[in-house]
Chains A and B, each alone.
Chain A
Amino acid sequence: MQKWRDIFLNGIVKENPILILMIGLCPVLACSSTATDAFGMGVAATFVLLCSNILVSLLRKLIPTEIRIPIFIVIIATFVTITDYTMQAYFPQLSENLGVFVPLIVVNCVILGRAEAFAYRNTLLASILDGLGMGVGFTLAIVLLGIIREILGAGTVFNVKIGISNPATLLILPPGAFIGIGVLIAVWNALRKSKGSVSSPCASCGLRQMCHSSKEGECEALGQIK
């Protein structure tokens, strides 16, 4: 039980894709100008991530190593297109707001990263939990940023007006995304540090599961740099 819980929580806290691994930042910066858009993007990415993790994990014995990446991309692209069509048909307003960033989920490195680093090497149940955890972690980070930007930049939250008379428009513009994500990452890491949960640099390494090095902090990538 403990093991399953750890896999799920891993994506939310210890290896949060946005705040710790810092992968898949592009949609987070682009789609977080309002909390509603951010939530829509988070749910869409989570759906694709979960589906691709499930399929990759089920087919992992059948997918030859040499062509795994193109196969992952085909699988991901299929689910992204399904999401895109469904969104256009049933949530036209959301689809319009997210615009080109829905098709661009294909190249969201969180999804390809999890397919490669986790689902291709783990059982179905573990992959489902990983997909959910990472998806929730992604959604949490993007919605948090969306709420901050919307409150300070537009004086609303989830389109509901709150009493801010003169919002700073800068925050809903692109620079606001960079400032917001920077502050968010800093606060998140400060919180983690104060709880003493940061250990070696390997703890947050996206390649950890593929790493053949036995000693902490002495991975192949670091060795090559030296």
Chain B
Amino acid sequence: MKIIKLGLILLIVTVLSATSLSLVYLQTADRILEVKKEKVYKLQKEILPLAESFEDIDEGTVKVGYDGDKNEVGRIISVSPKGYAGNIEMLVGIDNEDRITMIKIVKQSETPGLGSQVSKSDFLGQFKNKNLAGVFLRRESTDGEIDAITGATISSRAVAKGAQQAIQKNIKAKKSAEPDSEADEKD
């Protein structure tokens, strides 16, 4: 008998707790969602400053940015190249001429103080306005224009690789979306 009584008391306590939690959840859920959306929008806006609104395509890995008149101004591609310690999740903004507008590192677990510097704007700023040929490390390609961080070549290379992947992916996606675009360019 005792065990049933104890079980019932525990049941009452948990039901009361669940009820109060659901009330708090209802109060805060909308606001939490709003805060999250705002954060994502702010980040996207920072990467593609010209864009006013964004649309997800390709299961959210590509976001197309539109300006106020619904013209495409660029895309944000998410890639995750392999770094020194795990994958580096990054967002790459690309304008209509396949040049990089900005790169943001979303998540990385590189060595603190060395590899982690890839998320600093000193390093990422180098990518601005570079096209596919430019986003290689200077020492690894004659056209490369990116200086690696001292002591963090692998991390630097990974970010450059991510930028290359993003541009290539974008060019490929555009081609498959408009099969007759080459014909247009000829006339």
Whether the pair B28, A88 counts as a contact (CB closer than 8 A) is yes
Q: Does A92 contact B (CB under 8 A)?
A: yes
Q: How many residues on chain A are close to B (CB under 8 Å)?
A: 21
Contact A64 B39 (CB under 8 A): no
Q: Are B6 and A71 in contact (CB under 8 A)?
A: no
In the complex, what residue of chain B is closest to A83 when comparing beta carbons? B24
Contact of B10 among A70, A85, A173 (CB under 8 A): A70
Complex contact A89–B21 (CB within 8 A): no
Question: For residue B39, which residues in chain A have a CB less than 8 angstroms away from its CB?
Answer: 92
Q: State the CA gap A97–B175 with chains docked (Å).
A: 41
Inter-subunit contact A90/B24 (CB<8 Å): no
Q: Are B6 and A67 in contact, CB atoms less than 8 angstroms apart?
A: yes
List residues 1-46 of chain B with CB under 8 A from any CB of chain A. 5-6, 9-10, 13-14, 17, 20-21, 24-25, 27-28, 31-32, 35-36, 39
Interface of A is mostly: helix
Is A77 an interface residue, CB under 8 A from the partner? Answer: yes
B112 at interface by CB-CB < 8 Å:
yes
Q: Which residues of chain A have C-beta atoms less than 8 A from B21's C-beta?
A: 78, 81-82
Partner of A85, one of B5, B17, B25, B36: B25
**Would A89 and B17 be within 8 Å (CB), given that A67-B9, A169-B113 are in contact?**
no
In contact, B10 and A67 (Cβ under 8 angstroms): yes
Contact A88 B17 (CB under 8 A): no
- Taking CB atoms, residues of chain A closer than 8 Å to B14 are 74
Most buried by B among A64, A78, A81, A173: A78
- Report Cα–Cα, A75/B21, bound state, in Å: 11
Query: A86 touches which one: B9, B20, B28 (CB < 8 A)?
Result: B28
Distance A85 CA – B21 CA, assembled complex (angstroms): 10
**A71 B13 Cβ-Cβ under 8 A:** yes
Q: Are B25 and A74 in contact (CB under 8 A)?
A: no
| Contact pick for A74, options B13, B27, B32, B35, CB 8 Å | B13
- Residue pairs across A and B with CB atoms within 8 Å: the count is 50
Partner of A71, one of B5, B10, B112: B10
Please give the distance in Å from A110's CB to the nearest CB on chain B: 21
Known A-B contacts A64-B6, A77-B17; the reply to A90 vs B113 at CB < 8 A is no
Which of A77, A78, A88, A173 has a CB less than 8 Å from the CB of B35?
A: A88
B35: chain A residues at CB < 8 Å are: 88-89, 92
Which chain B residues border A88 with CB–CB below 8 Å? Answer: 28, 32, 35
B10 engages A75 (CB within 8 Å): no
With a cutoff of 8 Å between Cβ atoms, the chain A residues found around residue B36 in the complex are: 92
| Residues of the B chain whose Cβ atoms lie less than 8 Å from the Cβ of A67 | 6, 9-10
- Bound form: Cα–Cα A74–B20 in Å: 12
Closest to B3 in A: A66
> Which A residues are CB-close (under 8 A) to B13?
71, 74-75
Assess whether A66 is in contact with B6, with CB atoms less than 8 Å apart. yes
Whether the Cβ atoms of A74 and B17 lie closer than 8 Å is yes
- Binary CB contact string for chain A from 57 to 83 against chain B (1 if under 8 A, 0 otherwise): 000001110110011001101100110
Q: Which residues from A are CB-within-8-Å of B28?
A: 85-86, 88-89
Among A66, A77, A88, max chain B CB count under 10 A is at: A88
In the assembly, what is the distance between CA of A88 and CA of B28, in Å?
8
Chain A residue contacts of B31, Cβ below 8 A:
89-90
28 interchain pairs, CB-CB under 8 A: A62-B9, A63-B9, A64-B9, A66-B6, A67-B9, A71-B9, A71-B10, A71-B13, A74-B10, A74-B13, A74-B17, A77-B17, A78-B21, A82-B21, A82-B24, A85-B24, A85-B25, A85-B27, A85-B32, A86-B24, A86-B28, A88-B32, A88-B35, A89-B28, A89-B32, A169-B112, A169-B113, A173-B112
Report the 5 A-B pairs with minimum CB-CB distance, sorted nearest first: A89-B31, A89-B28, A78-B17, A85-B28, A92-B35
